[in-house]
């Protein structure tokens, strides 16, 4: 009887951890995608100063979020996104629309891949 109880408790703990991962990754994906779209919009409007400030804020927020995501996800994925996020403010400050747009698209692809490949969906488990 104890084994069944321990098994149920372990199953509940695993479910809680998966739930935390789903919430954290989904919220991060949604927030950063929206912020990247804002930066892209500002660059297209040629509001370079605001785009530079926002891209720096997004990078600072990413550094904080990356610490939490490292608990759940592969560090290499997070490091690749961090490297791309770090160059975004530099491109924005240099008023390089093409580089900012390309960098944003690359980051969005990485975020989408991270979300789709790392969440505990049935197709990822099997």
pLDDT interval class at 66 (50, 70, 90): confident
Between helix 2-44 and helix 48-69 the angle, nearest 10°, is 170
Contact 58, 92 (CB under 8 A): no
Closest C-alpha among 36, 41, 77 to residue 55: 36
Q: Please, what is the Cα angle at 101 between 98 and 102, to 5 degrees?
A: 85
CATH number at residue 35: 1.20.120
For residue 4, give both structure tokens. 């069944």
State the total domains in the chain: 1
Contact 82, 66 (CB under 8 A): yes
Query: What would the pLDDT profile of 16-45 be if each residue is shown by its tens digit?
Result: 988 888 888 888 899 999 999 999 999 989
pLDDT band at 1 (very low <50, low <70, confident <90, very high): low
Q: Pull the structure tokens for residue 48.
A: 């370079």
**Domain housing 16:** 2-125
- The pTM of the full predicted model, rounded to 2 decimals, is 0.80
């Amino acid at each position: 009887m104890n084994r069944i109880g321990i098994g149920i408790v372990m199953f509940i703990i695993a479910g809680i951890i998966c739930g935390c991962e789903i919430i954290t990754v989904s919220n991060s994906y949604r927030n950063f995608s929206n912020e990247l779209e804002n930066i892209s919009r500002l660059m297209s409007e040629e509001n370079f100063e605001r785009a530079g400030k926002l891209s720096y804020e997004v990078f600072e927020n990413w550094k904080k979020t990356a610490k939490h995501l490292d608990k759940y996800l592969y560090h290499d994925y997070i490091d690749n996104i961090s490297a791309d996020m770090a160059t975004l403010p530099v491109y924005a400050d240099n008023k390089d629309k093409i580089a900012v747009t390309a960098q944003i698209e690359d980051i969005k692809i990485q975020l989408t891949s991270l979300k789709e490949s790392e969440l505990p969906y049935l197709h990822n488990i099997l």
